[in-house]
Amino acid sequence: MRFGILLILAATAASAGEFALFTNGARMLVDRHEIQGARVKLYKDAGYIEMPADLVSSFEIQEPAPAPPAPTPPPVIDAAPAPQHLSPTELADAAADKYGLPRVLVRSVMAAESGMQADALSPKGAIGLMQLMPETARFLGADPHDPAQNVDAGVRYLHDLLLRYGGGLWHALAAYNAGPGAVDKYRSVPPYSETLNYVDRIDKAYTKADLQTPANGQR
């Protein structure tokens, strides 16, 4: 009876991938088998094992391994908005509004200092839009190579100088250019040609722009 079962199973060569179940309880994974009379050939890879057929009780088709689950797509994370790069004028106006200074004044100082250029470098080492010296930038806790920090720190410094000199624009501008020590020494705008020209140029640009601003416009 058992041999008859083997013959039925061997009516066609088994498809690749099956288990040969032996009468002693062992099992072997083979590619296929062939029954030849009282002998059975168990094919594995490029070779085969031949043995008496009555040593094999039956064959079981190997069930294909379940397909692995589809990978779960990573969660969609909204990308952080790209940082906005403000123009020099926008940086000047934002800082002016923050510290309560006229926009036209801050623009005039920035134009005189760096020509509104972030990469401007003076012969003395002043950096960027409002030309911060490295030691001044460190004192103000700003990175002078970052345009936004540079302008914010420069306008904050100008604001503090205006407070220091009671709102005196010429004194504050002179101190921004030559340092508060020079202004304090002379108790006025120091008699340096560079500083005198600097103060005069900004005052004229500020006054001209102020006169051109409508009465209800943002200064």
Q: Where are the beta strands (DSSP E) in the chain?
A: 18-22, 27-30, 32-36, 39-44, 47-52, 56-61
Residues 56 and 94 in one domain: no
Residues 7 and 109 in one domain: no
Q: From CA 20, how far away is CA 27, in angstroms rounded? A: 5
Domain total of the chain: 2
Residues 105 and 149 in one domain: yes
Is residue 137 a part of any domain in this protein?
Answer: yes
**CB of 100 closer than 8 Å to CB of 113:** no
Looking from the CA of 139 toward its CB, the CA atoms found within 13 Å total 8
- Nearest one of 205, 196, 207 to 171, comparing CA atoms: 196
pLDDT of the residue at 78? 57
Q: From CA 121, how far away is CA 33, in angstroms rounded? A: 86
The angle at the Cα of 191, spanning 103 to 175, to the nearest 5 degrees, equals 35
Q: From CA 200, how far away is CA 152, in angstroms rounded? A: 24
> Domain span at residue 172?
88-212
pLDDT of the residue at 79? 52
Residues 47 and 93 in one domain: no
Q: What is the CATH number of the domain that holds 13?
A: 2.30.30
34 in catalytic set: no
% pLDDT > 90, the chain: 54
Which range (75-79, 113-117, 161-165, 213-217) has the least confidence?
Answer: 213-217
From the list 34, 50, 60, 113, the catalytic residue is 113
Q: What is the per-residue pLDDT across 142-158, written as a single tens digit (0 to 9) for each?
A: 999 999 999 999 999 99
Q: What is the per-residue pLDDT across 5-43, written as a single tens digit (0 to 9) for each?
A: 333 333 334 345 788 888 878 788 888 888 888 888 888
pLDDT of the residue at 106? 97
Residues 18 and 55 in one domain: yes
Tokens of 171: 């004194």
Residues 161 and 202 in one domain: yes
pTM: 0.60
